[in-house]
Amino acid sequence: MKNRMKKTRQNEPGNDDRRGKLPEHIRIIKEGNRQTSTPALDIFRNYRKLVKWCTPSVLEEVMESYNPYSEGSISIRATGKLQDNSGVYAETHSLAAEAYKNVDGHSHYGCEGTTGANRVLFDLISRIFLDEGGRKRVLSARNVHQSVVVSARDKQVPVDYVMTRFDKERGLFLPPTADDVLSEINNDTRVVLLSNPTYEGFSCDLRTIIERIKRKNDRILIYIDEAWGAHFPFNDRLLISAIEAGADFVVQSLHKQGGAPNSANITHLSKRVKDAYLKEYLKSYAENTSTTYSVPLVAAMDLTRKIMYSEGKDRLDYMMAYADMFRDAVRHMKGIDIIDPTKFPSVHSYDPTKVNLYMTDSRLKGDDIAERLEKHFRVVTEKEERRSLCFLTTFSIGLRETEFTINALEETLDVSPRDFMDEKEPLNLPQRVEKRYETFEAQTMDKEQVPLDKSNGRVSGENIKCYPPGIYIVQMGEVINSQLIGYLLSQRCRDHFYAEDKSLRYITVLKER
């Protein structure tokens, strides 16, 4: 085992000074004067020494040209303003709309990730609801990012949820079917919001869902959080992009698979939304984003668009080839296998740039495997669950990185399974949770803490999420049931759960009246 590990480390991609252990950025306080240390900068400088199967997926040319320390003044009048789409930004956004196949629509860059993009769109939705009057609601998939829930709360937009599809064996949220969505639409539904594809790259039958919604009620606005799909327009082997499928609002994280640096995002407004609401959208954008946006980041997104439009197909073909190579190797390893998305009835298609592994040996633990890969080999995974791992094939992954990762994973699995934590029987999430109050109503109510195992029937006074992928398991205003308690109890002491009591022994609830 030790000899094999030594051999693998000698073939590590990157600098020759890497010898298996992570850089000493863990030592935050250096010897001597504390103020001579730069812990965040030290970590930043070591990023390139990692084998990253995780975000951000940045094009090499963009990384070389992007200098976050460079100047870029928003005060130069000749350049115009990003917020109001003036000056050079009007042409920049026009080029983006063309490249991302947003025919006759408006596309707009942002510098705060899809978190910022969702905040802007919920402000716009609240304006639409206020202007139209009456009862208006958003119908949303449950697996939306936390920024959707927070934006709905802050803008006081009421939200209903489609039933949850969850695979308990692998700990995965699954996309809804067309019937799941259509059956929940009522006279109050003004917006349907889906997060597609899922974190693991699984997609619903998006075109069919959109077509059926429009046949049922053409006034309904269709909003797709396509954070993981910025690369879709550039290769026909990938999923259909949401804007091509007929969505009205689409937000994409350009730093995930789009080739741009962290926090880069783009929002697409379809032609009908552009014609009806562009002025209001720009007002929402100006009031909900920083006036001091990053000029270098916008420039990097512009360069990313140029490269992806001209060379994206070929680069994504290489990316998919390395993903296939990795998948083929995993199929011959003991104790793990590839997750086959076609076995899930609600999955219509999937993103082949993502490699999802399942621990077939119940004694193996995805969290431990991911930790060992990073600690001993500097291989970083995108997401880990107790029984699954997600590898994101990025633009920095090549043949050498793929071969190195295969060897590293084989050697990690050579560790006896008894060295890993035994796995308990996985528990399922409830398909539906009763909502007693909207989150913005519950936020202002009196609260108290009670033992989690004694909270059945009480109304939650907090949001509990798992990150990644940033999905809320329970929200303020929802009624806690026994199935939800069982699931949360099974997740105690997991690092990626966020709650007011991180041990999950207590939960905040609304005081009973």
Question: 45 or 411: whose pLDDT is higher?
Answer: 411
Question: Quick one: pLDDT at residue 18?
Answer: 44
Cα end-to-end span (Å), the chain = 62
Least confident of 67-76, 103-112, 197-206, 479-488: 67-76
Question: Quick one: pLDDT at residue 30?
Answer: 46
Q: How do residues 497-510 score in pLDDT, each as one tens digit?
A: 789 998 889 999 99
Question: 319 or 31: whose pLDDT is higher?
Answer: 319
The full DSSP string for 122-139 is HHHHHHHHHHH-S--EEE
Question: Is the model's pLDDT at 244 over the cut of 60?
Answer: yes
User: One-letter amino acid identity for 443?
Assistant: Q
User: One-letter amino acid identity for 189?
Assistant: T
Q: How do residues 145-200 score in pLDDT, each as one tens digit?
A: 999 999 999 999 999 999 999 998 888 999 999 999 999 999 999 999 999 999 99
Question: Is the model's pLDDT at 38 over the cut of 50?
Answer: yes
Q: Tell me the mean pLDDT in the region 344-370.
A: 93
Segments making up each domain of the chain, as ranges: 34-310, 312-414, 439-510
CATH topology of domain 312-414: Aspartate Aminotransferase, domain 1 (3.90.1150)
Question: Quick one: pLDDT at residue 497?
Answer: 78
The full DSSP string for 323-364 is HHHHHHHHTTSTTEEE--GGGSTT--EE-TTEEEEEE-STT-
Q: Which residues are bridge partners to 329 per DSSP? A: none
CATH topology of domain 34-310: Aspartate Aminotransferase; domain 2 (3.40.640)
b or e along 310-343 (b: 16 or more beta carbons within 10 Å of the residue's beta carbon)?
eebeebbeebbebbebbbebbeebeebbebebee
Question: Is the model's pLDDT at 422 over the cut of 80?
Answer: no
Question: Is the model's pLDDT at 7 over the cut of 80?
Answer: no
Express as a percent the part of the chain with pLDDT over 70. Answer: 89
Q: How do residues 272-313 score in pLDDT, each as one tens digit?
A: 999 999 999 999 999 999 988 998 999 999 999 999 999 999
b or e along 56-77 (b: 16 or more beta carbons within 10 Å of the residue's beta carbon)?
bbbbebbbeebeeeeeeeeeee
Question: Is the model's pLDDT at 252 over the cut of 60?
Answer: yes
Residue 147: phi and psi, rounded to 5, are: -65, -30
Question: 43 or 512: whose pLDDT is higher?
Answer: 512
Least confident of 10-19, 157-166, 305-314, 443-452: 10-19
Q: Strand 249-253 and strand 221-225: pairing?
A: parallel
Least confident of 9-13, 135-139, 189-193: 9-13
| pLDDT tier for residue 426 given thresholds of 50, 70 and 90 | low
- Common-topology check for domains 34-310 and 439-510: no
- H or E segment to which residue 280 belongs: helix 271-288
Q: How do residues 51-88 score in pLDDT, each as one tens digit?
A: 999 999 999 999 888 776 566 666 777 789 999 999 99
CATH topology of domain 439-510: Ornithine Decarboxylase; Chain A, domain 4 (3.90.100)
Question: Quick one: pLDDT at residue 10?
Answer: 56
Question: Is the model's pLDDT at 9 over the cut of 90?
Answer: no
Express as a percent the part of the chain with pLDDT over 90. Answer: 73
Q: Mean pLDDT of all residues in the chain?
A: 90
Question: Quick one: pLDDT at residue 40?
Answer: 82
Of 345, 21, 332, 356, the C-alpha closest to 179 is 345
Peptide bond into 469 cis (omega under 30): yes
Question: Is the model's pLDDT at 29 over the cut of 50?
Answer: no
Question: Quick one: pLDDT at residue 12?
Answer: 63
Least confident of 241-245, 412-416, 439-443: 412-416
Question: Quick one: pLDDT at residue 200?
Answer: 95
Peptide bond into 56 cis (omega under 30): yes
Question: Quick one: pLDDT at residue 491?
Answer: 78
Question: Quick one: pLDDT at residue 49?
Answer: 82
Question: Is the model's pLDDT at 361 over the cut of 50?
Answer: yes
